[in-house]
Structure 1
């Protein structure tokens, strides 16, 4: 399984210069000493996170079995999973910042900046983040003390234990950020950027002190005005490279502090918000589906899907590409991650296409576009996070994605057929397989079909919730891995490491969304925006086109799940006020996310395909995705004119 995920920024063409190496100073020595102390603690903390990610499916699966066999539920399952979430996220925060590639950020602009300036920006970010998370740590400790003597309802576990665990994880993050701050200061001194360093630190202090000096101003903004300034500030921080979750949380806290008469509500939010956001049974669906997708990737399902589709379609014009697209759709039904779908199917199908002299642009473009089906065909991480932000039904969203997912797959296949008929030398036909060979090839996809039917069918019938379905999927995917003899220590280590790493990155953004949400609610910015748009009597489809245009632009700049988490808290109230069906809009949003996966300059699926086919120029791959971009635009038009494509099946089943 490739390490590529939805959440890792692509390897941009520019290569950052390394930090200056000449000489050492006291800041290097302090950072080295701190790292020597941190290293073993971070590793042990992440080991606990790793183990929790590995076993969290077991209690839910046992509960489902007990309900099915004995008509009785196990006690305390919800609380158990909430505690698993706390262990996974908080104990991995520091490790992710130091060893897991860092928390998610947008480096599109900073990648083009002089590295001396980027190091100054990083110092500003690190000073702000260290101080902010130090404050979060303190307030979480206060909350733990206030909860002394309180116990969970079912398991009677003292609540202060796991809040203290959260505080410990936050402390590790603070020390990690402090170490990076010290190294940044050292690098700036080696750059002889003393004045720049002083300015960066002074700006960080002034930024953190915003609530104090703002309230001393003779004229202050309205709540709405402060909300707009906060959003502008947050976008600026994001473009300047601050991790997304950090920027949202810091701006949310400072804005909430500035709005209130005092800082007590904002400080209380820091003490309660991050823990309560993370300790959620509903959120457990994220690591479970991530783990299931990774296990399926390792099981070899992708090769079976492609081989079977090749037997049935390989003799047609463009048959191998059509088979690869069919394989992408099938793999999407058990994966839910678009980049993983593209990389996995690309590694299986591309060598065969190259052997048969397929046009490289068409082959790579189709695989990059086919990978996007991973976030449309259920189970989909895009739908899951849309549901978490909007509080819509995950099951309804999954069902809503089925028909558009199938139709879009068929549109992809048809476009390949048309291209292959017009340019037969680009996609030569293969040999026709006999009916017996075709039928025999179906046995390789039986496990995928069973797993898909089990998960989605169980959710739709009401046998289990989406979170329970994800746990059943994890056990099923692991069972397939065992039956195929692919279980090794390395495989399991990679799967669980990626599960904990990706989950922590996503949840850090959700923590930021939660804190920012308090500020947005206090400023009434989303409601005022919705009232402004609806009050002016704009045609709702004109507004929808504007929203789609915004998503198209954002999709060119950042990864898809952060895009959802960043924009929906503000946009969703407007969408509802305009009378659009939120489930239908969820499908629209996910298709816009798909477009963002393949549009330059941050087309992460294109970068993923480039890593699979390093000899194919990036420009050729981007050229190859154009027919599939047209299919996506056509799919959006069909959904706008015929919304029943997304809502009809939902109405039938719910």
Structure 2
């Protein structure tokens, strides 16, 4: 772990920083014969039906974004929620939550909503720090509200039910969305200058038009997630259906062209290449720590120390806070889960609940400097400084800590819904 952190600090990319120390360790311990197991580990890491859902969900989001469906949804939400204090800042959060339920990706969500919202926010003279912060923090909802790429990867490592994990993320995701909305409303009531009136009026006619604009998007979400939750299709099959639905809806309601479709394919390939390369390196890392017996040693150490759940939570807070400032979401999962997962059973911790906790920590990491990826995504789309984006996210950081505390005190926030649906 120390070698990995050192390499990362020196600027080496995550898959190489994970993979190279693993290969060196295996060679030192067993030479060429031990390295022969890499082929099997590599095949096992990629030969996963669950992982095939990742490129399909990314492609679905890319098609919707490039066809202009994101713009349509954003304007509809801006009209429907125009009377809530905070105006377009509220639309940022609600739009991120809505688009996150399709994209499953924090980066895609922040980029899609940010590209539409920032020009409007700047033109209407909204508070720049809160505008940027709401987009960076709102984008993180994309990896908590299902479908979530982070949850899919967690499931592939732990062999935990994806459907149950998706269901477990619903209440915490909606709760965090409401907390963000409530904070912005409170802030706007105290200081109306941060969110000037948009000039958008909600009438019966405009409300009906906005509802009609949202119907195709809502139908796509309902079909995709409904097939998963009710066991009609696997996650991968539902993602494929979602892609087909996105193409049809974008062609009918959006501006889908052959050029846009090809661009969506190209972007999907590049994003998936990055994600799956990290997953491959992570399996090499897991192979190395398994050979070293580190998992068994950690379990034995925890039992000898008689570690309580509270002490384990403190340990999680420390490790994820450090990693959140250095590693992006997939990297956090692949580094920590193989090490920490063996500790869950001795401590009596539910793996479904733990998966949601890990995802919330990842959300924090996405907006934690110096390497919080959402900070750079938002900063790249506007004329403000990175410092403004960071300052704007601080209140949302605190709200995420509140959610973490609530999950630790009341695990039922994550476990109640799966227990009722999958009895």
Residue 567 of structure 1: how far off its partner (Å): 1.7
Task: Flag structure 2 segments of 5+ consecutive residues without an equivalent.
Answer: none
Kept in 1, the 8 Å contact 2:41–2:287? The answer is: no
Kept in 2, the 8 Å contact 1:297–1:335? The answer is: no
- In structure 2, C-alpha distance between the alignment counterparts of 1:430 and 1:251, rounded to whole Å: 54
With the length of structure 1 as denominator, give the TM-score of the two structures.
0.62
**In the alignment, structure 1 residue 241 sits paired with structure 2 residue 3:** no
Residue 316 of structure 1: how far off its partner (Å): 3.0
SS at the partner of 1:502?
A: helix
Give the corresponding residue for 1:529: 298
- In structure 1, C-alpha distance between the alignment counterparts of 2:415 and 2:160, rounded to whole Å: 14
- In structure 2, C-alpha distance between the alignment counterparts of 1:250 and 1:625, rounded to whole Å: 34
Residue 485 of structure 1: how far off its partner (Å): 5.1
**In the alignment, structure 1 residue 362 sits paired with structure 2 residue 133:** no
**In the alignment, structure 1 residue 418 sits paired with structure 2 residue 186:** yes
Kept in 2, the 8 Å contact 1:343–1:608? The answer is: yes
**In the alignment, structure 1 residue 372 sits paired with structure 2 residue 119:** no
Give the corresponding residue for 2:79: 311
Residue 429 of structure 1: how far off its partner (Å): 3.1
Residue 307 of structure 1: how far off its partner (Å): 1.6
Q: What's the CA shift string for 1:526-570, capped at 9, x where partnerless?
A: 221122023211222122121122111211112111111122111
Give the corresponding residue for 2:108: 340
Give the corresponding residue for 1:576: 345
**In the alignment, structure 1 residue 629 sits paired with structure 2 residue 397:** yes
Kept in 2, the 8 Å contact 1:338–1:374? The answer is: yes
- In structure 2, C-alpha distance between the alignment counterparts of 1:320 and 1:520, rounded to whole Å: 48
SS at the partner of 2:267?
A: helix
Residue 596 of structure 1: how far off its partner (Å): 1.0
- In structure 2, C-alpha distance between the alignment counterparts of 1:436 and 1:594, rounded to whole Å: 38
- In structure 1, C-alpha distance between the alignment counterparts of 2:118 and 2:18, rounded to whole Å: 40
- In structure 1, C-alpha distance between the alignment counterparts of 2:28 and 2:121, rounded to whole Å: 59
Larger RCO (CA under 8 A, 6+ residues apart)? 2
SS at the partner of 2:51?
A: helix
Q: Aligned match of 1:296 in 41, 58, 64?
A: 64
Change (3 A) 1:253 1:618: closer
Q: Aligned match of 1:474 in 221, 239, 243?
A: 243
Q: Which has the larger radius of gyration?
A: 1
- In structure 1, C-alpha distance between the alignment counterparts of 2:125 and 2:6, rounded to whole Å: 47
Coordinate RMSD, CA, aligned: 1.7
- In structure 1, C-alpha distance between the alignment counterparts of 2:281 and 2:390, rounded to whole Å: 33
Q: Aligned match of 1:434 in 203, 208, 225?
A: 203
Q: What's the CA shift string for 1:468-527, capped at 9, x where partnerless?
A: 111111111111222135232332222111222222222222222222222211211022
Q: How does 1:250-261 map to 2 (within 5 A)?
A: 250-260=20-30
State the aligned residue count: 421
Kept in 1, the 8 Å contact 2:68–2:254? The answer is: no
Kept in 2, the 8 Å contact 1:316–1:429? The answer is: no
Kept in 2, the 8 Å contact 1:347–1:612? The answer is: yes
- In structure 2, C-alpha distance between the alignment counterparts of 1:344 and 1:235, rounded to whole Å: 32
Stretch deviating more after TM superposition (312-321 or 642-651): 312-321
Give the corresponding residue for 1:444: 213
Q: What's the CA shift string for 1:225-251, capped at 9, x where partnerless?
A: xxxxxx333333333333332343333
Q: What's the CA shift string for 1:27-50, capped at 9, x where partnerless?
A: xxxxxxxxxxxxxxxxxxxxxxxx
Kept in 1, the 8 Å contact 2:69–2:254? The answer is: no
**In the alignment, structure 1 residue 555 sits paired with structure 2 residue 296:** no
- In structure 1, C-alpha distance between the alignment counterparts of 2:119 and 2:35, rounded to whole Å: 56
Change (3 A) 1:485 1:422: closer
- In structure 2, C-alpha distance between the alignment counterparts of 1:554 and 1:594, rounded to whole Å: 12
Q: Aligned match of 2:227 in 427, 437, 458?
A: 458
Change (3 A) 1:534 1:330: same
Q: Aligned match of 1:393 in 158, 161, 164?
A: 161
Kept in 2, the 8 Å contact 1:301–1:445? The answer is: no
Give the corresponding residue for 2:408: 640
Could you list the runs of 4 or more consecutive aligned residues of structure 1 that deviate by over 6 angstroms after TM superposition? Answer: none
- In structure 2, C-alpha distance between the alignment counterparts of 1:515 and 1:423, rounded to whole Å: 52
SS at the partner of 2:52?
A: helix
Residue 331 of structure 1: how far off its partner (Å): 0.7
Kept in 2, the 8 Å contact 1:397–1:587? The answer is: yes
SS at the partner of 1:283?
A: coil
Residue 384 of structure 1: how far off its partner (Å): 1.0
Q: What's the CA shift string for 1:116-163, capped at 9, x where partnerless?
A: xxxxxxxxxxxxxxxxxxxxxxxxxxxxxxxxxxxxxxxxxxxxxxxx
Task: Flag structure 1 segments of 5+ consecutive residues without an equivalent.
Answer: 1-230
- In structure 2, C-alpha distance between the alignment counterparts of 1:562 and 1:510, rounded to whole Å: 8
With the length of structure 2 as denominator, give the TM-score of the two structures.
0.95
Q: What's the CA shift string for 1:66-88, capped at 9, x where partnerless?
A: xxxxxxxxxxxxxxxxxxxxxxx
Q: What's the CA shift string for 1:366-391, capped at 9, x where partnerless?
A: 11111111111111111111111222
Change (3 A) 1:316 1:271: closer
Change (3 A) 1:620 1:246: closer
Kept in 1, the 8 Å contact 2:67–2:260? The answer is: no
Give the corresponding residue for 2:89: 321
Give the corresponding residue for 1:60: none
**In the alignment, structure 1 residue 232 sits paired with structure 2 residue 2:** yes
SS at the partner of 1:282?
A: coil
- In structure 1, C-alpha distance between the alignment counterparts of 2:39 and 2:373, rounded to whole Å: 36
Stretch deviating more after TM superposition (627-636 or 495-504): 495-504
